[in-house]
Amino acid sequence: SAVISQKPSRDICQRGTSLTIQCQVDSQVTMMFWYRQQPGQSLTLIATANQGSEATYESGFVIDKFPISRPNLTFSTLTVSNMSPEDSSIYLCSVGLGTGRETQYFGPGTRLLVL
């Protein structure tokens, strides 16, 4: 498995501001992902964070709203831009490990509340 940490663990933000969430892994991983879990909901994939190139976004998510950086194989950031109360969610990063990168482990999540 991998040890994955996220910062901050939680935050309360004002609408219109931006928050950058960090994800750090204790080993080099090829695949990193960002998910969102809205209150009482399941998880939805936001994007795949690609090292050395632009992130790949899922339908309904755009780079201007959720810019992602992946400067190396152990670190990634997700920014939630121009926040509104609808962005209140848990944001989780995950990494793919294993021979075929089939096992996905999740970070502890960042709990965001937008007022």
Partner 1 sequence: GEDVEQSLFLSVREGDSSVINCTYTDSSSTYLYWYKQEPGAGLQLLTYIFSNMDMKQDQRLTVLLNKKDKHLSLRIADTQTGDSAIYFCAESTDYKLSFGAGTTVTVRA
Separation CA 13–CA 64 (nearest Å): 19
57 in contact with partner 1 (CB under 8 A): no
Residue 26 — left, alpha, or beta (φ > 0 → left; ψ -120 to 50 → alpha)? Answer: alpha
User: Which one of 19, 23, 25, 33 is in contact with partner 1 (CB under 8 A)?
Assistant: 33
| Closer by beta carbon to partner 1, 43 or else 113 | 43
Binders of partner 1 among residues 80 to 99 (CB under 8 A) are: 92, 94, 96
Reduced 3-state DSSP string for 79-95: EECCCCHHHCEEEEEEE
Binding site for partner 1 (CB under 8 A): 1, 31, 33, 35, 41-45, 48, 58, 92, 94, 96, 101-109
